[in-house]
Structure 1
């Protein structure tokens, strides 16, 4: 079983591509066993009862790392759900220009059962690129189809062989932590009841004040409910900017000196109510895109502009479209700024940790979008599913869920020349 000799580039950068501007670290994988060892680092957790495929492009870089649950491949009595998972997996592999595939079946089941479950998926993947299948079990790992005891002992090679390879140390130095499970990797931070109570009280007060303004009749030449709404949106966006600056300072100080959990609970509660306004949510989204602050501020200021200001609203829409294009359009796409994305993620995660569930849909959807933009389709799918549980009718979550189900990568991935790496888990495939 001669192994391939790919170079794993989890950052997905190529000279002259948008991703190259971020100067991602390059980690070399010298064999299929190196790629097997790298899987937990690339996913962020140790997969269980899963088929994990590592797609290597014709330029010998990792184009996609994707996981599908073995039970998802079975898909029930009709098999339709399993077929859909396989179709999405194959489509994602084709999209990145796959030449070789290392397919790892992580399971405690016997090899025969594992082979039966993944057989149809491996057959379809073989139409995309050369497939090298492996079985990774608790007692050891081996080639899934290997019958040569000199090559693969009956109980496999010892697990420590994967744990102590040079590629693991190199990936650890890039900051890629490994959780024991997907639930651990995706778990949001927790805060104590006192902080949650303060945030909830602030949110309740803000919601009551908003309703009081909405119900107040317009009186004479004074401020109208529309004026109050415009000021409230601007104030909400200012609050977001303050919270992001606070989180950015904490992140710069590093662990032990300060902590992002120091974000004021009352301000998080007020912001949760502000974020419930679609204009504020859209402004928050725009604010994390390079060059998006101006259209963000015009979005919160112009949502209730009078009819005669149609030209001004059109300018806002054009500016917004240009900003969003930097996320989705391969012709002008950019990578997220790491510092901005990290600070925004802290604020949104703390928001979910502090406020009641009725306010979770917006921040969870934005967290999902941030994860997708950064190439982490698994995390994105987890956050979007949680948003849908909080509010099944939340439209932006449904839209993003469709993007993930189709395994559509962000614009900066599609901007790369065919065969350039896209990093780990660029879309949800199962």
Structure 2
């Protein structure tokens, strides 16, 4: 298949980039943009950048998978197949692959390029290029595969226009995927035990509480937290009791697009860290939904993986994880949010309006 350079938008010059729509004009710049596109710096990975061609050609989504030492890795075959399915479903017509391998990785990379062509060609999807780099760092040499002569030196990924765009939009670029996992690292067992005791105390003292009251109380608690930013054990325990009730959990999702959204997300992080056992799936899934909604795929993936590790049968986490793994856009979560607001109304609770 003919290898083509990545086209510069015809209706504007490279200098016309804006914070919202940065322009990438070279292979090296596109490779350097991978950390910003993913939200973290990947290592030992294959990254598939899915494009819609036109004027300009637009990056629509990225998919990433750890690279195995085995050429017949089912994970590698799966991500390539899913990439083809996503492109077909979304009407995307080109892919760029970037292999980040580390300095000691010895896989014959051409085999990966062949596997990509075998999957994409029958679907009419162009493979614009398959590029290899050891590490995503300034000064690293990159090269192209499949007879493509392009090669060069990587510019600083942290100084790319795409990175600047992400930072200006208030989104983080983490140093690694493991940094995300550290956000959800459990507190010491003594703290988990203290939280379990607080939850038992709440359940004993409050007794059975109706769904409407649980939801209304949760909104009040989050409003107070929004003002004070102090989450004590009893308040955390009461919110945990609420989202452990499926009908209330589903309605609480309606807060994701309100001014209380960031406060609620911080609570989901704290609850995920404080809770152990299967119940950890409740707050971890809520965090996954929040992250998915705003397009933070890496955090959503880690949160949902945490939920499913805690409870492999947790249906809400299964549904969101399947959607995320298959490249379904965040609009699927927005639709759930709209349904959640209707559920809240049915419970007689008026949620705050959407944030502007």
Does TM, scored on the shorter chain, surpass 0.5?
A: yes
Tell me which of 71, 86, 89 is aligned to 1:95: 89
1:63 corresponds to 2:60: yes
Aligned length: 314
Q: Secondary structure at the match of 2:93?
A: strand
Q: Tell me, yes or no, if the aligned pair for 1:367 and 1:383 is still in contact at 8 Å.
A: yes
What residue in structure 2 maps to residue 238 of structure 1? 216
Report what 2:309 is aligned to.
389
Give 1:372 deviation, angstroms: 2.5
1:75–1:343 CA distance, 2 compared to 1 (3 A): farther
1:132 maps onto 2:126 in alignment:
no
Task: Determine if the alignment matches structure 1 residue 368 to structure 2 residue 288.
Answer: yes
Corresponding position of 1:283: 251
Q: Do the aligned partners of 1:101 and 1:130 also contact (CA within 8 Å) in 2? A: yes
Given candidates 319, 322, 326, the residue that maps to 1:399 is 319
**Maintained 8 Å contact 1:198/1:266:** no
Distance in 2, Cα, partners of 1:361 & 1:352 = 8
Structure 1 residue 265 and structure 2 residue 265: aligned?
no
The structure with the largest alpha-carbon Rg is: 1
* TM-aligned CA deviation for residue 131 of structure 1: 2.3
| Inter-partner Cα distance in structure 2 for 1:398 and 1:413 | 14
How far apart, in 2, do the equivalents of 1:200 and 1:179 lie? 32
- 1:39 shift after superposition: 0.9
Q: Distance in 2 between matches of 1:414 and 1:129?
A: 31
**How many angstroms apart in 2 are the aligned matches of 1:270 and 1:31?**
53
CA RMSD between the two structures: 3.3
Does the 8 Å contact 1:243/1:347 carry over to 2? no
**Other-structure match for 1:47:** 42
Secondary structure in 2 aligned to 1:187? helix
Report 1:338-377 matches (<5 A).
339-377=259-297
Cα separation, partners in 2 of 1:278 and 1:167, compared to 1, 3 Å: closer
8 Å CA contact 2:65–2:79 kept in 1: the answer is yes
Q: Partner residue of 1:201? A: 197
In 1, the alpha carbon distance for the partners of 2:194 and 2:36 equals 37
Unaligned runs of 5+ in 1: 8-23, 214-227, 251-259, 289-335, 416-430
Offset at residue 73 of structure 1 (A)? 8.2
SS at match of 2:269: helix
- How many Å separate the matches in 2 of 1:159 and 1:181? 19
The whole-number CA distance in structure 1 between the counterparts of 2:304 and 2:163 is 30
Q: Which has the higher contact order (CA 8 A, sep 6+)?
A: 1
If the length of structure 2 is used for normalisation, what is the TM-score? Answer: 0.75
1:206-245 alignment to 2 at 5 Å? 206-209=202-205, 213=207, 228-230=208-210, 233-245=211-223
Query: Secondary structure in 2 aligned to 1:350?
Result: helix
Residue 203 of structure 1, CA deviation: 0.9
Matches within 5 A, 1:10-89: 25-59=20-54, 60-71=57-68, 74=71, 76=73, 79=74, 82-89=76-83
Q: 1:275 to 1:131 in 2, by over 3 A?
A: same
TM-score by length of 1: 0.63
- SS of aligned partner of 2:143: strand
Aligned equivalents of 1:189, 1:405: Cα separation in 2:
20
Structure 2 gaps, min length 5: 10-18, 336-356
Q: Distance in 1 between matches of 2:59 and 2:186?
A: 38
Q: Deviations over 1:110-155 (max 9, x none)?
A: 576233245313432344124211112134222234575xx53xxx
Question: Aligned match of 2:328 in 381, 391, 408?
Answer: 408
